[in-house]
Amino acid sequence: MIDLSKLTIKSAREGLKKGDFTSRELTEACIDKIKKEDGEINAFIEVFDDALGQADAADEQIKKGIEAPLLGVPIAIKDNILLSGHKSSAGSHILEGFVSPTDSTVSSKLQRHGGAVIVGRTNMDEFAMGSSTETSYYGPTKNPTDTSRVPGGSSGGSAAALAAHFVLGSLGTDTGGSIRQPAALTGIVGLKPTYGRVSRSGIIALGSSLDQVGPFAHTVTDVETIYNVIKGEDKLDSTTISDSTYKSEKKFNKTIGVPRKFLKNVSSDVKKNFEQAEEKFKSLGYKIMDVDLPSIEYSLAAYYIIMPAEASTNLARYDGVKYGLYVDGTDLLDDYMKTKGSGFGRETRRRIILGTFVLSSGYYDSFYGAALLAKEKITDELREAFKDIDVLLTPSTSGPAFKIGEKISDPLSMYLEDIFTVPANISGIPSMSLPSGFVEVEGKNLPLGILLSSDLGREDNLFQIGKDFLGE
């Protein structure tokens, strides 16, 4: 019997090559575990009917001696990542029943270049709008560590699927922290790559200047493996960049910067955990230095203007005419109003309205224009800081996983969950959350994470430091 809790992508690949088990046996073990345990967790919206067929095809390739980084390995994808012939709904009622006619670039790369078995699509906050995976039309996902608590969001299904050992790796999207925050709250590794390093073609958009696809895994090595499969330029996405776009000659100096003034309003447990992480880095030979980033505190405010503005534009296409939900009205305008009114959830409607407001005549310059100027200033300050340091270090979140229902009726409190993660999206820099320990709350050991961010194109620094910290 295969013990999924003891497998990583690396060890699974070794087992598959040795013949310790087949991809079909490994995939069956994942599906069986999902059937037994996911009823409570709700990580998956759908397990694909062709998963075992994909595994059989992988086994044939393995028999022929074909090599691929993810060959035969079960992977899950977030519900906003298109896969040809399969449903994708972005966690929303308005896209119920939509079957994708095409592959996203990342799903194509997972299968065709990586050889992965895509097991199913995972739950998410509706259109990736949320930090708890409670706004999904398909109900909330629960944290495997404590099912009374959230797994974070918006990629909470992908994080929970991995933390529960339903799969060996997964993909999410990160617009303001939607990979790194749930990674921290579920005790796994999550990476948001440099903006443009991974194609957004075939990704159901939220904020087009902020969205980025990235991997979840149990180890930094596994995250790096998935990243290397999905990255690269793509003619279907004009914003993609090559490895050489941000080529830097700066050597790795084992120097970590900490923006002390930014580290406020964290719980005492998070502060203690962060200090322990600093000491561990020092014991590994790293130099810790304080850095001053005067504008970083405005990242969250800028983000919650830019993201809703872009979301209101991107979501205008969902009108019930070409695909998804259609609600009949008395005329065309009534069709639109009834379809959108019943198809979009409360949080999605809130952000569409906010985004439309900040783009409206008379408010564009004072809100959206000002936010873009803040974005430029924050980016400049971060890039200047990376001349002296290899990575920036902060906590991933201000506290451990909160209770389901605790913040859903308080939007501002929920938005503050992104305080440490949004600077990387605002500036486009790569950022990765690492598991850094636990805090005991109500008799449960809840995971905490630390956040590493580096200069544009320097994922290599994140992987090096992450491996050192986790002892890989």
Q: Which tens digit of pLDDT belongs to each residue from 262-290?
A: 998 888 999 999 999 999 999 999 999 99
> Exposure of 440 by Cβ count < 10 A (0-12 exposed, 13-18 middle, 19+ buried)?
exposed
Three-state SS at 311:
helix
Structure tokens at 109: 């790369």
- Decide the pairing of beta strands 431-441 and 444-454: antiparallel
Structure tokens at 429: 């820099």
Distance in angstroms (rounded) separating the CA atoms of residues 197 and 155: 19
CATH, domain range 1-472:
3.90.1300.10
The string of pLDDT tens digits covering residues 116-165 is 999 999 999 999 999 999 999 999 999 999 999 999 999 999 999 999 99
Catalytic residues, which ones?
78, 154, 178
**Residue partners of 232: CB distance under 8 A and separation at least 6:** 109, 197, 198, 199, 240, 242
Backbone angles phi, psi at 156, to 5 degrees: -65, -35
DSSP sequence for 271-298 = HHHHHHHHHHHHHTT-EEEE---TTGGG
Task: Give the position of tokens 């990243």.
Answer: 227
The string of pLDDT tens digits covering residues 421-439 is 999 999 999 999 999 999 9
- Looking at residue 426, the DSSP 8-state letter turns out to be H
Residue 260's pLDDT band (cuts 50, 70, 90): very high
The string of pLDDT tens digits covering residues 306-325 is 999 999 999 999 999 988 99
Averaged over 169-178, what is the pLDDT? 98
Other residues' Cβ atoms within 10 Å of the Cβ of residue 166: 31
The string of pLDDT tens digits covering residues 205-240 is 999 999 999 999 999 999 999 999 999 999 999 999
Reported as type and span, the H/E element at residue 11 is helix 9-18
* Global confidence as pTM: 0.97
Distance in angstroms (rounded) separating the CA atoms of residues 452 and 156: 20
DSSP sequence for 314-382 = HGGG-SSSSSS-----SSHHHHHHHHHHHHS-HHHHHHHHHHHHHTSTTTIIIIIIHHHHHHHHHHHHH
Q: Do residues 154 and 190 make contact, with C-beta atoms less than 8 angstroms apart?
A: no
Report the pLDDT value the prediction gives residue 264, as an integer from 0 to 100. 83
Residues paired with residue 445 on neighbouring β-strands, in sequence order: 440
Report the pLDDT value the prediction gives residue 114, as an integer from 0 to 100. 97
- Decide the pairing of beta strands 287-290 and 117-122: unpaired
